[in-house]
Amino acid sequence: MVSFADRLTDKIRETGNPTVMGLDPMLDYVPESIRRQATLELTDPAEAAGLALYLFNQQLMDAVADLIPAVKPQFAYYEQYGVPGLVALQKTIAYARGKGLLVIADAKRNDIGSTAEAYSRAILGETNLGAAKSQSFMGADCITLNGYLGLDGIQPFLDQCHKGGQGVYILVRTSNPSAGDLQDLVLNDGRTVYEAMADKVSEWGRDLMGQSGYSSVGAVVGATWPRQAEKLRQIMPHSLILVPGYGAQGATADDAVASFGPDGQGAIVNASRSLMLAYKKHGLPAEDFATATRLEAIAMRDDLRSALKRAGRSIE
């Protein structure tokens, strides 16, 4: 069984592109032609909305599947549309995997005991349906987690990683402006809260090291905090790092590079709106969104490659 860390590292090397596309669709993002198509196929407005989201995602993935290693659907964007949204999420994950893309479920789950086990089965593993039958509800390759409940809330996911080869990304230093209100607090031993969490991520990942030298237990570290990211990379030398904040949130490729290892590996940079809505930047009609997304994905790849070269961490 190949670990998530090794599969992701191999895909990044294969594409030469440490980019993950966030699939965070709103119905307003979907071009009118796709919404019309959905309403012709399904008369129920809620079901048509879910279908429109899926068709939009499908074209986005078709545009970049040969360029990027992974996609990252944010669950809240689908849950807000109810059951049809969850159907769209299921179909999106299945389609992504069929295109050879790894799927990072951006669910940020946070609970303990049997509830955490249920989340793990739903999103990464399989649910027992009785009579020796089981079924994967989402079947993602990886999940984002909030680790601030401690190991109790993480262990069921680690167990699934050992069993099925999946991965986790645990929130360490997030990209939002108010992150420091809690994460920057200083503990009695002189560490910040986010440094203490990084130590835990490193500890929890020791038994899930891959041949690549990276663990399938990773961290979320925002590109908006490059100075902190450099320190966190030192604390977590073998952890995969998921890097949000590039593009629409204002961080640059040079900011994102701080989370990469000295080998130019170990990190993947997320872009959501800047890829999904790239047609606005490129001055193209909304109907040409897929073409614009491909152009922007290439530009982002080249931007990251150049930044890595400047930092002496080239992946080429």
Query: Over pLDDT 70: what percentage of the chain?
Result: 96
Residue 135 pLDDT: 62
Q: Which of 108, 231, 281, 309 is catalytic?
A: 108
Quote the mean pLDDT of the chain.
93
The DSSP call for residue 152 is G
Q: Where are the domains of the chain?
A: 4-310
User: E-strand spans in the chain?
Assistant: 19-23, 70-73, 102-109, 127-130, 133-135, 142-145, 167-173, 215-221, 239-243, 267-271
| Tokens representing residue 295 in the block | 């152009």
Which residues, other chains included, contact 157 with Cβ-Cβ below 8 Å and sequence gap of 6+?
A: 116, 119, 120, 124, 143, 145, 166, 168
pLDDT digits (tens, 9 = 90+) for 146-183: 998 999 999 999 999 999 999 999 999 988 889 889 99
Distance CA 271, CA 92 (A): 17
Q: What are phi and psi of 185, to 5 degrees?
A: -60, 145
Give, rounded to a whole angstrom, the gap between the first and last alpha carbons of the chain.
Answer: 27
State the pLDDT confidence band at 14, using cuts at 50, 70 and 90: very high
- Is the pLDDT at 197 greater than 70? The verdict is yes
Is it the case that residue 130 has pLDDT exceeding 70?
Answer: no
Whether residue 119 is predicted with pLDDT greater than 90 in this model: the reply is yes
Q: How far apart are CA 163 and CA 36, in angstroms?
A: 43
Stated pTM of the model: 0.95
The answer to whether 91 is a known catalytic residue is no
pLDDT score for 136: 73
What's the pLDDT score for residue 254? 93
Q: What is each CA distance from 28 to 72, 109, 245, 290, 305, in whole angstroms?
A: 19, 27, 22, 16, 32
Tokens of 22: 């966030």
**Per-residue model confidence as pLDDT tens digits over 19-74:** 999 999 999 999 999 999 999 999 899 999 999 999 999 999 999 999 999 999 99
CATH classification number, 4-310, choose in 3.30.565.10, 3.30.1330.90, 3.20.20.70, 3.40.50.300:
3.20.20.70
Reported as a single tens digit per residue, the pLDDT across 204-235 is: 999 999 999 999 999 999 988 888 999 999 99
Least confident of 19-28, 130-139, 247-256, 258-267: 130-139
Q: Which residues contact 312 (CB under 8 A, 6 or more apart)?
A: none
